[in-house]
């Protein structure tokens, strides 16, 4: 367990995939509470580069780095830029990259960050400190745009009704607090039954968070950057928590492993991709957390881990310059 009681999800499975060894270099692209980084550093005499866009996470990381005698480097930035960030520090190629996607327990637990619909706070949701906040989006976007965001990133079937309610409520007074937005969303639903029913605000808050932080775009950039940065036989381990993330990871790995499905017999014949696979799968199906972990850490319930190993082939789309 890392600082503050944060439990890294599927830690044993991630370590098994990355197979830490002495002298190796690893990227923890979503440093958060430092759980994966600490486990890697404790498992072998290796070096870890932790990346996070959250200034609070970087402060925690630099405090933690003092105990590892130069083996832990903390870089503030987005993991989609990991190749550039690592190169600026003279790091690379690397032997492993891990990402724990989505919002961290630290961010959820701090009401002032505005991620939680169960704790009142300013409607912010930014993982870093830049760009428009969730309040900016909720109060300024057109109803149609809001409905599209809530449907696309939250997979919310009542997106139009919710967007209409938001626009109506903000006409009376700007929506600036998480509790008010959560109440508006809940009012669009019939009464819940059963203590385990999902809170109606869940999907709308997820959608706004993903949109505000461009999480899906960041994931696509991060996968391509990892492909560029990983050495031959380097390992990639990605933990995702919902279908939108997992779909991107699955598509990327299937493509890079040369496992894309054949075209339909009714469609024009697609020429075979001439590029050599840049990854090989370590497991055909995503790994899921065991029941014991879910009982201790309910956040792990929806987690999926996909892993792959880098081949010696060139990266398909080198990032930050270079020919494709």
Residues 6-40: pLDDT tens digits? 578 999 999 999 999 999 999 999 999 999 999 99
Task: Give residue limits of the domains in the chain.
Answer: 3-106+215-310, 108-213
The answer to whether 13 and 36 have CB atoms below 8 angstroms apart is no
User: pTM of this prediction?
Assistant: 0.87
Mean pLDDT of 158-181: 97
Domain 108-213 has CATH 1.10.150.170: yes
Q: In sequence order, which ranges of 33-122 are alpha helices (DSSP H)?
A: 35-43, 55-65, 82-88, 105-109
Alpha helices in 66-118 (DSSP H): 82-88, 105-109
CATH number of the structural domain 3-106+215-310: 3.40.50.150
Burial (CB < 10 A; 0-12, 13-18, 19+), residue 73, is buried
pLDDT band at residue 131 under the 50/70/90 scheme = confident
Is the pLDDT confidence value at 235 over 50? yes
Residue 137's closest CA among 181, 198, 202, 183?
A: 181
Based on its alpha-carbon atoms, the radius of gyration of the chain, rounded to whole angstroms, reads: 21
């Amino acid at each position: 367990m890392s600082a503050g009681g944060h439990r890294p999800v599927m830690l044993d499975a991630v370590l098994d995939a990355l197979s830490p060894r002495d002298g190796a270099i690893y990227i923890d692209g979503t440093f958060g509470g430092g759980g994966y980084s600490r486990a890697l550093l404790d498992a072998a005499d290796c070096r870890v580069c932790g990346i996070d866009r959250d200034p609070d996470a970087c402060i925690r990381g630099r405090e933690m780095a003092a105990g590892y005698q130069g083996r832990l480097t903390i870089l503030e930035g987005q993991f989609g830029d990991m190749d550039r960030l690592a190169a600026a520090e003279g790091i690379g190629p690397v032997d492993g990259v891990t990402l724990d996607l989505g919002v961290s327990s630290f961010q959820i637990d701090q009401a002032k960050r505005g991620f939680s619909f169960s704790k009142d706070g300013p409607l912010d949701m930014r993982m870093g400190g830049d760009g428009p906040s969730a309040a900016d989006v909720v109060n300024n976007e057109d109803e149609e745009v809001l409905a599209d965001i809530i449907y696309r990133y939250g997979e919310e079937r009542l997106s139009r009704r919710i967007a209409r309610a938001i626009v109506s409520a903000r006409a009376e007074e700007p929506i600036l607090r998480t509790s008010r937005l959560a109440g508006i969303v809940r009012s669009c639903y019939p009464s819940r039954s059963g203590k385990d029913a999902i809170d109606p605000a869940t999907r709308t808050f997820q959608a706004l968070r993903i949109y505000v932080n461009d999480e899906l775009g960041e994931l696509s950039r991060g996968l391509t950057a990892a492909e560029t940065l990983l050495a031959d036989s380097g390992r990639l381990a990605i933990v995702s928590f919902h279908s939108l993330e997992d779909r991107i990871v699955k598509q990327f790995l299937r493509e890079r492993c040369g496992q894309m499905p054949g075209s339909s017999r009714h469609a024009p014949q697609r020429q075979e991709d001439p590029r050599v696979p840049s990854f090989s799968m370590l497991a055909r199906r995503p790994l899921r957390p065991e029941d014991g972990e879910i009982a201790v850490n309910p956040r792990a319930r929806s987690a999926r881990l996909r892993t792959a190993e880098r081949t010696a082939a060139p990266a398909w789309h080198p990032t930050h310059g270079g020919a494709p």
